[in-house]
Amino acid sequence: MRIAIDMDEVLADPLKKFIKLYNRDYGIPLDTLIDPGNEVYHHVPEHLDHKWYEYINEKGFFRDLDVIEGSVEALKKLQEQHEVYIVSAAMEFRNSLEDKLDWLAEHFPFISWENIIFCGNKIIDADVLIDDRIKNFNHFKGRTLLFSSPHNLLITGYERVDTWQQVLEKLYVEA
């Protein structure tokens, strides 16, 4: 199978970094537990909700994100049996391109540059797409796995995975 995998909130954790930066800059506690169905910016005062976009557009924001637990090991296992591609809508945030490429090289060095796709719309030819945003499933013809993130927890009607262990189980890959 050809498996396409999103980066943010699937492999990398931008929410944790946003919360850290917000707490640093404003000294206002922002909990890491975001209410189901809400974006992180819904949890900040309205006059500061633009900070999310300022942070993610800064050079370096995406460079040191935490790795989602279990993702490195799972991608190694998936790669043993399948073609694995990283597909990120990185074009949305111009400064993220180099950061994301360097981040992948550090944490997923076994994924070739030839298997990294930075795009706008995720119009791709793959058998499986693992993503946290259902908008990326709109024109996808293969199997979709919705990777759980606070903003999508109220969404139903999609095959959902909460962990990388569940991804391996659903794709019949031995853990």
Which positions are catalytic?
Answer: 6, 8
Q: Residue 40 to residues 30, 46, 49, 94: CA-CA distances in angstroms?
A: 9, 12, 9, 21
Contact 40, 34 (CB under 8 A): yes
Task: Locate 23 and state its tokens.
Answer: 């707490």
Phi-psi map region of 27: left, alpha, beta (phi>0 left; psi -120 to 50 alpha): left
**Do residues 8 and 87 make contact, with C-beta atoms less than 8 angstroms apart?**
no
What separation in angstroms does the CA of 18 have from each of 13, 62, 82, 123, 128?
9, 10, 33, 28, 29
Q: Quick one: CA dihedral 151, 161, 102, 136, positive or negative? A: negative
